[in-house]
Amino acid sequence: MNPGPERESVTHREGSGSWTLGLWIGSGLLAVVLIAGLAQRFWPLLHPDAIALAQPEPGCDLHLGACRASFADGATLTLGIRPRPISVMVPLQLDVGIEGLEPSEVEIDFVGVDMNMGFNRVRLVALGDGRYRGQGMLPVCVRAHMIWEARVLLHTARGIMAAPFRFETDRARNSAAG
């Protein structure tokens, strides 16, 4: 037996191990940089900054009818959601009326207040005379009772203006109503 080739083989494996470790570290660093770049690029899409926030009228219940909100500059917005009561996993007709503003785009972002429910944004279609309509759906949640915020996003020349409307879904109440 010749001990020479075995020794070379062991040395070669040890050398390739450090090369493999370097490759894993380099790949990991590249992945972190790519993820950070994507997060920075898409963060404004997922979490837009609003230049103005409307205040909804107190006591309004989207389960009973449309709700109205007012901006500090006097512009108003009305949101209606059908069918009522509002349920998860049911196609929803979304109607927005706007007075005092002419946005280039109107969207509604459905956000779980105390649980992240992912990206649930609907772009509405302009019907004319400040009316917009679209169709959306709330995703199912593991909780029987869920608090939601429907954020109406108005894209204007000055920036995004938002109107938050809160409502709740309750599977027990909704199944009894349907």
Question: In the chain, where are the structural domains located?
Answer: 1-47, 50-177
Q: Is residue 88 within 8 Å of 146, Cβ to Cβ?
A: yes
Q: Is residue 152 within 8 Å of 132, Cβ to Cβ?
A: no
Domain with residues 50-177, CATH architecture:
Sandwich (2.60)
Length of the chain: 178
Residue with tokens 């029987």: 144
* DSSP symbol at 140: P
Alpha carbons 150 and 7: distance in angstroms, whole number: 69
Which string of DSSP letters, residue by residue, matches 104-135? SEEEEEEEESSS-----EEEPEEEETTEEEEE
**Nearest-5° angle of CA 86, CA 55, CA 146?**
30
Would you write out the chain's pLDDT as a tens digit for each of its 178 residues?
555 555 544 444 555 678 888 788 878 777 776 665 555 555 444 456 778 999 999 999 999 999 999 999 999 999 999 999 999 999 999 999 999 999 999 999 999 888 887 778 999 999 999 999 999 999 887 778 899 999 999 999 999 999 999 999 987 655 555 4
pTM: 0.71
Alpha carbons 138 and 87: distance in angstroms, whole number: 7
Of the candidates 171, 24, 31, 164, the residue with the CA atom closest to the CA atom of residue 108: 164
